[in-house]
């Protein structure tokens, strides 16, 4: 525990950017669910069985078998984390001048597409941009938007469609199985590939089980397999669903693309049987898959997020609805209506929450959205959110109650809150390192 005066100093020194705080100065860390999960005894035991051979480690073959069994793709290329896989697939499939449609941008995914010469096009349904819409599958792609794009630019210039499940920037919102089938059908007619961002696909599968009657009695594992069957490849950040602190992969069916990926990975990550990871990391991820698909686990995990969301709703805090899988997203536009978007409402709210309580959260608004690559202007996203992200198997219900009380305390003094001014901005993924001062 630190004092309010201490935290005032700490956040000012961090340029009002929660990524620049030291973790020792944080009381409850809801920055991210990425790599912050608690590994199980079974995973730790697996770490002791690391086969640290340079080539052909046993742990690679175990992971490969698990990915084939649970995700259903033929080939596996391990990478150090999700963006390593995004880099490989973008470099292989995108030609300069191509378009890459997807269900809302994700920061690292879009950047790798742009660095490969592509242009990301948002084809998510309109409901996803409305924090108050109660639509149950706000991660769905809008098939009209997608087919208009294909008609406008021609199928040859569409590298592939990125389908995220769940959609992080929309508030951890799921895509339905029906939509996955429809996307598959439309793209197949044009010979366009589908690449799934499977980072939180297990959480997505749970929502399908809850909300799509056809799947009410299916297991999460069965739903996951079917979801993946409507795509050609997946990129994966194992640091989320798969309950590890580091790791990721690219998994795919096409032999030729696999050969290219297996070749390129040795340039950027490491040999094709370790991809920048130690053998023990591969083993922890292989074991994590099996734990992650257990219905009881995923029910408890999403149930915890729901518990916090329901409590916040009951005291009138504006959050994104429906409550998402990995996080609660505060709607900063409604929380701090006195601030203009260029006074960075979500960045401000994240800083205020830290000062109030030592709780660390993350901005997901105009700072995250970055600048237009052609005009250099800020992108102005409709959603201006603060993410309270829950690591898996880490916090208790008592922590959750402290979080709710802290948000309420800031809400009670919301009228006094002033905005921020940007004073330093790096070129790539600016939200990680941008600095601010108080207005
Ligand atoms: C987060 C993390 C990572 C992520 C993701 C989806 C849907 C790919 C990745 C990349 C970490 C993060 C990343 C950028 C900005 C803020 C935070 N999301 N796809 O906290 O995976 O990090 O392993 O390279 O959510 O949401 P990786």
> Closest Cα to atom 11, ligand 1: which residue?
34
158 burial type by CB count under 10 A (0-12 exposed, 13-18 middle, 19+ buried): buried
What whole-number distance in Å separates Cα of residue 156 and Cα of residue 102?
16
- pLDDT of res. 185: 98
**Binding site membership of 106 for ligand 1 (Cβ less than 6 Å):** yes
Q: Which residues lie across from 161 on neighbouring strands?
A: 194
**Binding site membership of 167 for ligand 1 (Cβ less than 6 Å):** no
Give the closest residue to 163 by CA, choosing from 181, 150, 147: 181
Of ligand 1's atoms, which has the minimum distance to the CA of residue 326? 26
What are the residues whose beta carbons fall under 8 Å from the beta carbon of 99, sequence distance 6 or more?
118, 119, 120, 121, 149, 153, 157, 158, 159
Please give the biggest Cα pair distance in the chain. 61
- pLDDT of res. 360: 98
What whole-number distance in Å separates Cα of residue 434 and Cα of residue 367?
8
**Binding site membership of 231 for ligand 1 (Cβ less than 6 Å):** no
Q: Which residues lie across from 167 on neighbouring strands?
A: 173
Secondary element (H or E) of residue 329? strand 327-331
**Binding site membership of 32 for ligand 1 (Cβ less than 6 Å):** yes
Of ligand 1's atoms, which has the minimum distance to the CA of residue 200? 7
- pLDDT of res. 165: 98
**Binding site membership of 370 for ligand 1 (Cβ less than 6 Å):** no
From 106, 235, 362, the mutation candidate for ligand 1 (largest count of ligand atoms within 8 A of CB) is 106
From 139, 198, 199, 365, the mutation candidate for ligand 1 (largest count of ligand atoms within 8 A of CB) is 199
What whole-number distance in Å separates Cα of residue 123 and Cα of residue 140?
9
Give 79's DSSP letter. Answer: E
Whole-structure pTM value: 0.97
- pLDDT of res. 358: 98
**Binding site membership of 162 for ligand 1 (Cβ less than 6 Å):** no
* pLDDT tens for the chain, residues 1 to 439: 999 999 999 999 999 999 999 999 999 999 999 999 999 999 999 999 999 999 999 999 999 999 999 999 999 999 999 999 999 999 999 999 999 999 999 999 999 999 999 999 999 999 999 999 999 999 999 999 999 999 999 999 999 999 999 999 999 999 999 999 999 999 999 999 999 999 999 999 999 999 999 999 999 999 999 999 999 999 999 999 999 999 999 999 999 999 999 999 999 999 999 999 999 999 999 999 999 999 999 999 999 999 999 999 999 999 999 999 999 999 999 999 999 999 999 999 999 999 999 999 999 999 999 999 899 999 999 999 999 999 999 999 999 999 999 999 999 999 999 999 999 999 999 999 999 999 9
What whole-number distance in Å separates Cα of residue 206 and Cα of residue 223?
8
Give 325's DSSP letter. Answer: S
Active site residues: 54, 106-107, 197, 240, 364, 431
What tokens were used for 282? 């591969």
> Rounded to the nearest whole angstrom, what is the distance from the C-alpha of residue 112 to the centroid of ligand 1?
13
- pLDDT of res. 178: 98
> Rounded to the nearest whole angstrom, what is the distance from the C-alpha of residue 192 to the centroid of ligand 1?
25
Is the peptide bond between 166 and the residue preceding it cis, with omega within 30 degrees of 0? yes
**Binding site membership of 83 for ligand 1 (Cβ less than 6 Å):** yes
Query: Are 331 and 345 within 8 A, CB to CB?
Result: no
């Amino acid at each position: 525990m630190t004092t309010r005066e201490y935290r005032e100093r700490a956040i000012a020194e961090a340029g009002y950017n929660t990524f620049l705080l030291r973790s020792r100065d944080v009381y409850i860390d809801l920055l991210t669910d990425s790599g912050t999960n608690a590994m199980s005894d079974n995973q730790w035991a697996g770490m002791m069985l690391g086969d640290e051979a340079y080539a052909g480690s046993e742990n690679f073959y175990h992971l490969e078998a698990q990915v084939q069994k649970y995700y259903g793709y033929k080939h596996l290329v391990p990478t150090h984390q999700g963006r390593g896989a995004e880099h490989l697939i973008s470099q292989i499939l995108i030609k300069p001048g191509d378009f890459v449609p997807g269900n809302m941008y994700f920061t690292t995914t879009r950047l790798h597409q742009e660095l490969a010469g592509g242009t990301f096009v948002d084809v998510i349904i309109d409901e996803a941009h409305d924090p108050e819409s109660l639509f149950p599958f706000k991660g769905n792609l809008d098939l009209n938007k997608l087919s208009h794009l294909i008609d406008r630019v021609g199928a040859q210039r569409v590298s592939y469609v990125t389908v995220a499940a769940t959609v992080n920037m929309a508030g951890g919102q799921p895509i339905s199985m029906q939509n996955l089938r429809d996307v598959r059908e439309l793209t197949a007619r044009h010979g366009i590939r589908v690449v799934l961002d499977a980072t939180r696909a297990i959480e997505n599968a749970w929502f399908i089980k809850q909300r799509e009657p056809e799947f009410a009695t299916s297991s999460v594992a069965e739903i996951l397999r079917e979801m993946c069957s409507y795509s050609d490849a997946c990129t994966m950040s194992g640091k989320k669903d798969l309950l590890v602190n580091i790791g990721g992969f690219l998994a795919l069916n096409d032999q030729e693309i696999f050969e290219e990926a297996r070749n390129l990975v040795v340039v950027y990550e490491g040999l094709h049987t370790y991809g920048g990871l130690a053998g023990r990391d591969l083993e922890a991820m292989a074991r994590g898959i099996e734990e992650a698909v257990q219905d009881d686990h995923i029910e408890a995990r999403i149930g915890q997020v729901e518990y916090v969301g329901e409590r916040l709703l009951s005291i009138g805090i504006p959050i994104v609805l429906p409550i998402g899988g990995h996080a609660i997203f505060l709607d900063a536009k409604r929380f701090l209506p006195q601030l203009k978007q260029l006074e960075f409402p979500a960045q401000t709210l994240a800083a205020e929450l830290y000062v109030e309580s030592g709780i660390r959260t993350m901005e997901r608004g105009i700072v995250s959205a970055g600048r237009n690559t052609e005009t250099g202007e800020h992108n102005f996203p409709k959603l201006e959110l603060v993410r309270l992200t829950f690591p898996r198997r880490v916090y208790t219900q008592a922590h959750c109650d402290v979080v709710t009380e802290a948000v309420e305390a800031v809400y009670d003094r919301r009228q006094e809150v002033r905005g921020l001014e940007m004073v330093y901005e790096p070129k790539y993924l600016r939200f990680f390192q941008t600095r601010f001062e108080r207005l």
